Amino acid sequence: MPGHVGIILDGNRRHARESGMQNPDAIYRLGAAKLDDILAWSADLGVRRVTLWVFSPDNLRRPEAEVGGIFGAVEAKMRDLAADPHIRHKGVHITAIGRRDLLPPALLEALDAAEAATRGNDQITVTLAIGYGGREEIADAVRALLKDFAAQGLSIMQAAAQVSPETIRRHLYLADMPDPDLIIRTSGEVRLSGFMLWQSVHSELYFCDVNWPVMRRIDYLRAIRAYQRRERRFGA
């Protein structure tokens, strides 16, 4: 069983077109509601960590109403989860990674409230990658590493000698996060688009045609079974 599953949530707009939905708020609320299913399925299977890619910096180029629909749906969902007593009972811990400066204050407040309300839970960790891009994460990690070197008074040559994959890894958004064993992308698109670029080097990839808002338990199980049939070599 994979310990960490990453999911690229794709296909909200495609599902809306196919079902005749036009209200961005309704479209993305439907997608946000799917989180409840993922939590239940993962808990049943024993998956201890799930990372969901919700929004990237590139998504800011979408129409304002659409961006607002995404932010509003996530904010509402986080407020619901923070107040849900079942979340504590299930041991769900919620975290978030990404560029906070790209997000509106109300959404940041909701994310912080959900994280604070679930901080003591340790059965399953759900990480929202929102305002997140893999290149941005690596750039931010290198920036933070250089600041550390500067604070230590190191010269450029001394700092360069200490740069390694491990020193960069320690400055990623969640440095203690285990790499994803399995990455699933919905909607039929066959690419990672920058999701967890650093961490996905040995991840198994699974692409399914179903759109995110209508992903079923059987679709999740098929991804898990495909993972279990593979022989992981980790580059060896």
Please tell me which residue in 10, 12, 181, 211 is annotated as part of the active site.
Answer: 10
State the DSSP H helix or E strand holding residue 96, giving kind and residue range, or none if neither.
strand 92-97
From residue 218, alpha-carbon distances to 99, 112, 157, 189 in Å are 33, 33, 54, 19
Please tell me which residue in 59, 80, 112, 179 is annotated as part of the active site.
Answer: 59
How many angstroms separate the CA atoms of 31 and 39, rounded?
A: 14
How many angstroms separate the CA atoms of 168 and 62, rounded?
A: 32
Annotation marks residue 10 as catalytic? yes
Of 158, 202, 162, 194, nearest to 178 by C-alpha is 202
Retrieve residue 178's tokens: 């285990």
Output DSSP code: residue 125: E
3-state DSSP assignment of residue 209: coil
How many angstroms separate the CA atoms of 19 and 14, rounded?
A: 9
3-state DSSP assignment of residue 181: coil
Q: Which residues are catalytic?
A: 10, 59
